[in-house]
């Protein structure tokens, strides 16, 4: 390097230019002292960022998360990194860095001193996550080689913390939108066996979409959490603890999601119980038609593993509740299978609709209605504007059930 430089710039050599000596020696001293090869994001960078990392429990738990199906990128957020960056770029994208490096803080004074000596200024960022910080500083400098195609969900959450802290969410918005469309983040239906792990991953995606104001992704992940969670989201056995007290989220989000799940539980339960609550005439007339048909229906529910339940479906996910009743045989469960020979039997009154129809119809109809409920699970604009966006019709997602009760009795066949 030095020989080339001397040929091009005959007036600058280590012998006649003391500043150059200082620069070279200074760089060597820093490199040798840390033992880390820095990532050069700007070859003329005047700031060397040292990010020691925090090998904490979250990182290790995420490694467990990512070992299963649908793992998303690297999860090692604890490796120390050093980055050579431009203070000008940092100041343009982040008002916090601008205040730190161009304001009245000691960092600004030290930077200007080192700049006067033509030396890099070393700045330690103790509290930041190395993986997330590397991605963000690479984005600042348009160095896309250091930006992964799908970071871990732990990293997504750290990116949200980083951008909230340095007030630079606008830089991440485009990249974040592309990331969250990746199928790797949207496989919750296939991770039912590890649903509690999946909930943590979904919660992190929800935090990310909330901080970066990604309305469609926010609704989609809220819906996935609701479908994947077993039991109340705010209950004592919740797997969504991350949502309940998250410093970057409004606390009402978990509560709203919980209320929405309970609302769907009530609708589902009413539809599930419909055949048992009908006004069967034959049950009291000594005829077994209705009793046998309802027995078949209960057997079907038991076969689907949804008969034993409480009102909150504590041991069921909605993925299970919505999928199972739509699968299997097309043979109707009906009184039609049990002819009656009793003269003048009151079961003739049961021939009227809906008693002679497939007893599974109300539950299946409710399931179809519930599936259309996704756009109304949680709206980011409604939350951030305290519902004003609904009245102004400025919500970025299309609400589907405006003013219509999901528990519309027609769908239950009553």
Binding site for Zn ion (CB under 5 A): 282, 287, 289, 340, 342, 345, 347, 379, 381-382, 390, 395
Residue number, 105 or 401, with CB nearest to Zn ion: 401
Cα gap 335→353, rounded to integer Å: 11
As given in the structure block, the two tokens for residue 297 are 């229906």
Residue 267, SS3 per DSSP = helix
Contact 134, 207 (CB under 8 A): no
For residue 390, the minimal CB distance to Zn ion (Å) is 5
Taking the least distance from each CB to Zn ion, the nearer of 273 and 351 is: 351
Which is nearer to Zn ion, 230 or 289 (by Cβ)? 289
Q: Which of 224, 282 has the CB closer to Zn ion?
A: 282
Instruction: In angstroms, give the least distance from the CB of 214 to Zn ion.
Output: 14
Measured CA to CA, the distance from residue 318 to residue 131 in angstroms comes to 35
If the CB atoms of residues 312 and 374 are measured against Zn ion, the closer one turns out to be 374
Angle 53-59-64 (CA atoms, 0-180°, nearest 5)? 155
Please tell me whether residue 82 adopts helix, strand or coil conformation. strand
Tokens of 339: 């002819």
Is the distance from CB of 208 to CB of 359 less than 8 angstroms? no
Give the sign of the dihedral formed by CA 240, CA 246, CA 249, CA 250: positive
**CB closer to Zn ion out of 333 and 395:** 395
Shortest CB 199 distance to Zn ion, Å: 24
Q: Which tokens go with 275?
A: 């055949």
CB of 255 to Zn ion, least distance (A): 17
Q: How far apart are CA 403 and CA 385, in angstroms?
A: 19
Smallest separation, CB 210 to Zn ion (Å) = 14
Provide the pairing of β-strand 81-85 with 47-51. Answer: antiparallel
By C-beta, is 298 or 345 nearer to Zn ion? 345
| Shortest Cβ 291–Zn ion spacing (Å) | 10
Q: Which is nearer to Zn ion, 114 or 288 (CB)?
A: 288
Tokens of 173: 């918005």
Q: List CB contacts of 238: < 8 A, sequence separation 6 or more.
A: 229, 231, 232, 244
Burial (Cβ within 10 Å: 0-12, 13-18, ≥19) of residue 77: buried
Please report how close the Cβ of residue 369 comes to Zn ion at its closest, in angstroms. 20
Sign, Cα dihedral of 149, 151, 153, 159 = negative
Q: Which two tokens stand for residue 270?
A: 């009413």
Count the alpha carbons within 13 Å of 351 in the hemisphere toward its beta carbon.
Answer: 7
**91 or 342: whose CB is closer to Zn ion?**
342
* Least distance in angstroms from the C-beta of 339 to Zn ion: 9
**In the complex, least distance from residue 350 CB atom to Zn ion, rounded to whole angstroms:** 8
């Amino acid at each position: 390097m030095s020989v080339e430089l001397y040929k091009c710039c005959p007036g600058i050599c280590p012998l006649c230019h003391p500043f150059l000596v200082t620069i070279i020696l200074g760089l060597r001293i820093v490199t040798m002292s840390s033992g880390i090869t820095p990532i050069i994001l700007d070859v003329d960078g005047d700031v060397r960022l040292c990010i020691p990392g925090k090998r904490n429990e979250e990182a290790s738990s995420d490694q467990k998360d990512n070992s299963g199906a649908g793992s998303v990128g690297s999860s090692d957020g604890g490796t120390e990194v050093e980055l050579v960056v431009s203070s000008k770029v940092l100041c343009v994208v982040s008002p916090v860095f601008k205040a730190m490096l161009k304001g009245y803080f000691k960092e600004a004074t030290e930077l200007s001193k080192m700049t006067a000596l033509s030396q890099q200024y070393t700045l330690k960022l103790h509290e930041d996550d190395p993986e997330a910080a590397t991605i963000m500083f690479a984005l600042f400098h348009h160095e896309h080689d250091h930006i992964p195609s799908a970071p871990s969900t732990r990293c997504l959450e750290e990116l949200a913390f980083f951008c909230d802290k340095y007030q630079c969410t606008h830089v991440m918005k485009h990249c974040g939108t592309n990331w969250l469309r990746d199928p790797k983040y949207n496989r919750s239906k296939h991770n039912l066996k590890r649903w509690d792990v999946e909930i943590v991953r979904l919660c992190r995606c929800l935090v990310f979409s909330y901080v970066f104001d990604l309305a469609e992704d926010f609704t989609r992940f809220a819906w996935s959490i609701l479908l994947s969670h077993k039991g109340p989201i705010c209950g004592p056995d919740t797997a969504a603890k991350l949502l309940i007290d998250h410093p970057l989220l409004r606390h009402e989000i978990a509560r709203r999601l919980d209320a929405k799940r309970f609302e769907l539980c009530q609708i589902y339960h009413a539809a599930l119980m419909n055949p048992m609550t009908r006004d069967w005439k034959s049950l009291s007339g000594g005829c077994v038609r209705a009793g046998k048909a309802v027995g078949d229906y209960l057997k079907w529910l038991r076969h689907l593993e949804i008969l034993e339940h409480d009102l909150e479906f504590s041991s069921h996910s909605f993925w299970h509740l919505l999928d199972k009743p739509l699968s299997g045989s097309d043979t109707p469960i009906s009184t039609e299978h049990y002819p009656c020979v009793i003269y003048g039997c009151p079961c003739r009154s049961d021939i009227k609709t809906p008693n002679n129809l497939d007893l599974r119809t109300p539950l299946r109809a409710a399931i179809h209605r519930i599936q259309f409920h996704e756009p109304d699970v949680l709206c980011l604009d409604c939350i951030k504007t305290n519902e004003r966006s609904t009245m102004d019709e400025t919500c970025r997602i299309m609400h589907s059930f405006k003013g219509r009760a999901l528990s519309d009795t027609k769908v239950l066949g009553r």
